[in-house]
């Protein structure tokens, strides 16, 4: 979803510099061209070789390592679609606010005329310094997006506000800053994810291998496209949108019913159990003398089918997890469920589907159309699904 975009990542000399490796990895995984520029101090916290390998580009540190006629601070500034400086120290923040250009990073920042995002990270007393506060105010007034540091235990042993914000938050801000197609602005998108948990007794339950990643990717992409997102999930996740934590299929159905009427798009990426235990034991079941134990199961409601039967304006997208005859089974399922689209994926493979970072799907629509999405990260697949269905 970031292909054809060049992201300039500025790293300064803070202990959180190592976290930017994950950010670069995510940008690359989603197709971006990543250029990294470091202050000399940054290399005390992360090596040039690591950054070079992750970005698959040269890492720039000092000015006048000129390889072409244009000075690097100009060519790098011209080439990038967006610049994100993370972590940003008080020193670099203050230099940029004052127009000081005494190294390659501050020179680029001085020449940069497009969207700039700064994620400060420093000791809490430095963050509260009036001079730093004033420089932050100046940068905000110039249209620089500041991702506020978080509060908590700091590397320097203090407790307070100054810790670099989450990498997810930086990633989402960059995607939004790239004006990623805001086609879902004003729309409410409800997504389910994760495997439901059907209790047997206080200790045991029936579930499945769904990690929730496909649903998380859809929620993140929908957010980046401007949607109001509600994620109904059985998994733990922190995210910049509403999360409704559920456990069983019945819990999930109840949560969906509360969000359905006001939703525009519903995406059922969760792996919902078709059956639950008829009688959940209030106490831990003791091992009997018999060699066998029989559990009596009863059917769970088909949530997706129920939503399709009561829909008014909503676009309803189901998923289809098959281990064989993917297309035939999916064609039968989309008719049986009555959804607008069905996303079919082969869960017999270990490189896609349950728990994996990647997926490969076929999008079926209710008019018989089919669109195959080649194997890619779930983030890329999520974005392509949203682009295809709405
Ligand atoms: O979570 P990950 O680890 O990233 O894995 C992603 C995934 C493989 C779980 C995901 O891509 C996927 O396929 N999700 C749907 C899994 C599933 O339950 O498929 P199904 O064919 O059994 O169900 C078909 C559809 O009906 C699904 O949209 C499901 O949410 C829905 N359903 C199923 C049973 C039920 N009682 N009610 C339902 O609404």
Are 195 and 73 within one domain?
no
* Mean pLDDT, range 173-195, rounded to an integer: 88
For 78-115, the pLDDT digits (tens) are 889 999 999 999 999 999 999 999 999 999 999 988 88
Are 36 and 125 within one domain?
yes
pLDDT over 70 percentage in the chain: 97
Quote the pLDDT of residue 344: 97
Are 252 and 366 within one domain?
yes
User: Quick one: CA torsion of 346, 364, 256, 210, rounded to 10 degrees?
Assistant: 10
Are 258 and 365 within one domain?
yes
Quote the pLDDT of residue 261: 97
Which of 153, 178, 203 is the last residue in one of the domains?
178
Are 111 and 248 within one domain?
no
- Measured distance CA(369)–CA(350) in Å, rounded: 27
Are 173 and 196 within one domain?
no
Are 13 and 140 within one domain?
yes
Residue 183 lies in a domain: no
How confident is residue 65, by pLDDT bands cut at 50, 70 and 90?
low
Closest CA to 331 of 289, 365, 297: 365
Which of 178, 201, 227 is the last residue in one of the domains?
178
Q: State whether the beta carbon of 334 lies less than 6 angstroms from ligand 1.
A: no
Residues 6 or more apart whose CB falls under 8 angstroms from that of 373 comprise 359, 360, 361, 362, 363, 381, 384, 385, 388
Q: State whether the beta carbon of 344 lies less than 6 angstroms from ligand 1.
A: no
For 310-339, the pLDDT digits (tens) are 999 999 999 999 999 999 999 999 999 999
- CB of 217 within 8 A of CB of 381? yes
- Measured distance CA(244)–CA(19) in Å, rounded: 28
Ligand 1 centroid from CA 32, angstroms = 30
pLDDT over 90 percentage in the chain: 75
- From the alpha carbon of 301, which atom of ligand 1 is closest? 36
Domain hosting 62: range is 6-178
Which of 158, 178, 198 is the last residue in one of the domains?
178
Are 165 and 229 within one domain?
no
DSSP class of residue 208?
-
Checking if the pLDDT of 241 tops 80, the result is yes
Count of domains in the chain?
Answer: 2
- From the alpha carbon of 359, which atom of ligand 1 is closest? 11
For 23-59, the pLDDT digits (tens) are 999 999 888 999 999 999 999 999 999 999 999 999 9
What would you report as the CA-atom Rg of the chain, rounded to the nearest whole angstrom?
24
Q: State whether the beta carbon of 303 lies less than 6 angstroms from ligand 1.
A: yes
* Mean pLDDT, range 258-266, rounded to an integer: 98
Residue 1 lies in a domain: no
Q: Which residue's entry shows tokens 């929730």?
A: 212
Catalytic residue positions?
156
* Mean pLDDT, range 168-182, rounded to an integer: 83
Ligand 1 centroid from CA 25, angstroms = 28
In this structure, what CATH number is given to the domain that contains residue 256? 3.40.50.10300
Are 241 and 363 within one domain?
yes
Quote the pLDDT of residue 331: 96
Ligand 1 centroid from CA 302, angstroms = 11
Residue 380 lies in a domain: yes
Query: How high is the mean pLDDT of the chain?
Result: 92
In this structure, what CATH number is given to the domain that contains residue 109? 3.40.50.1950
| Predicted structure pTM score | 0.67
């Amino acid at each position: 979803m970031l292909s054809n975009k060049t992201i300039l990542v500025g790293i300064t000399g803070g202990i959180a510099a190592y976290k930017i490796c994950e950010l670069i990895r995510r940008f690359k995984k989603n197709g971006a061209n990543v250029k990294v520029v470091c202050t000399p101090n940054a290399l005390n916290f992360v090596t040039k070789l690591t950054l070079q390998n992750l970005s698959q580009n040269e890492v720039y540190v000092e000015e006048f390592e000129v390889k072409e006629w244009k000075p690097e601070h100009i060519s790098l500034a011209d080439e990038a679609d967006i610049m994100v400086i993370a972590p940003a120290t008080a020193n670099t923040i203050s230099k940029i606010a004052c127009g000081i250009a005494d190294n390659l990073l501050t020179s680029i920042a001085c020449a940069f005329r497009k969207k700039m995002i700064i994620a400060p990270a420093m000791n809490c007393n430095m963050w509260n310094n009036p001079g730093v506060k004033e420089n932050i105010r100046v940068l905000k007034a110039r249209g620089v997006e500041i991702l506020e540091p978080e509060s908590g235990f700091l590397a320097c042993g203090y407790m307070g506000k100054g810790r670099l914000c989450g990498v997810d938050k930086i990633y989402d801000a960059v995607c939004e800053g790239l004006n990623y197609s805001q086609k879902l602005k004003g729309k409410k998108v409800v997504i389910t994810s994760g495997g439901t948990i059907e209790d047997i007794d206080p200790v045991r339950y029936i579930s499945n291998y769904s990690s929730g990643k496909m649903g998380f990717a859809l929620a993140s992409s929908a957010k980046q496209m401007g949607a109001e997102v509600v994620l109904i999930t059985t998994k733990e996740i922190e995210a910049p949108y509403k999360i409704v934590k559920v456990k069983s299929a019945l819990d999930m159905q109840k949560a969906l019913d509360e969000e359905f009427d006001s939703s525009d798009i519903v995406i059922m990426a969760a792996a919902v159990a078709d059956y639950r235990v008829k009688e959940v034991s209030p106490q831990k079941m003791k091992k009997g003398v018999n060699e066998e134990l029989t559990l009596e199961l009863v059917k769970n409601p088909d949530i997706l089918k129920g939503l399709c039967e009561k829909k008014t304006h909503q676009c309803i997208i189901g998923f289809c997890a098959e281990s064989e005859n993917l297309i035939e089974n999916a064609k039968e399922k989309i008719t049986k469920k009555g959804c607008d689209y069905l996303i079919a994926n082969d869960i017999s493979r270990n490189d896609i589907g349950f728990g994996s970072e990647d997926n490969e799907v076929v999008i079926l629509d209710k008019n018989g159309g089919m669109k195959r999405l080649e194997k890619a990260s779930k983030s890329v697949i999520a974005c392509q699904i949203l682009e295809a269905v709405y």
